[in-house]
Copies of this chain bind each other. A is one copy, B any other.
Amino acid sequence: MRIPFETLRAEFERVLLSIGFSADRARQCADIFASNSRDGVHTHGLNRFPVFVQYVKDGLIDPNATAEQVGGFGALEQWDGHLAPGMLSATTCMERAMALAGQHGIGCVAIRNTNHWMRGGTYGWQAANVGYIGICFTNTIANVPPWGGTQPRLGNNPLVIAVPRKDGHVVLDMAISQYSFGKLMQYEAAGEELPFAGGYSKAGKLTTKPGEITESWRLLPIGFWKGSGLSMMLDLLATVLSQGRSTAEITKSKAEYGVSQVFICIKPTQGNTEQLIEQILEFSRSSELVDAEQPIRYPGESTLRTRQRSLKEGIPVDEKIWEKVKGL
Q: Which residues of A contact B (CB under 8 A)?
A: 71-78, 103-108, 110, 133, 142, 145-154, 159, 161, 163, 170, 172, 174, 178, 196, 204, 206, 221-224, 226-227, 229-230, 232-233, 235-237, 239-243, 246-249, 251, 264, 266-269, 271-273, 276-277, 279-280, 282-284, 286-291, 294-299
Contact = CB atoms under 8 A, between A and B. Distances in A.
A148 B294 contact: yes
Contact of A280 (B73, B235, B287): B235
Given A73-B267, A224-B196, A277 B104 contact: no
Nearest to A283: B248
A196 B237 CA distance: 29
22 contacts: A73-B105, A74-B104, A76-B106, A76-B267, A108-B266, A110-B269, A145-B287, A146-B284, A146-B287, A148-B287, A149-B289, A150-B290, A151-B288, A163-B236, A163-B240, A170-B236, A172-B232, A172-B233, A229-B298, A232-B280, A243-B271, A247-B283
Nearest to A165: B236
B290 A149 contact: yes
Contacts of A227: 222-223
Given A148-B296, A276-B239, A290-B148, A105 B75 contact: yes
Contact of A74 (B75, B149, B248): B75
B78 A269 contact: yes
A178 B226 contact: yes
A55 to B, nearest CB: 23
A299 B223 contact: no
Contacts of A152: 287
Contacts of A106: 74-76, 104, 106-108, 264
Given A224-B196, A233-B299, A280 B247 contact: yes
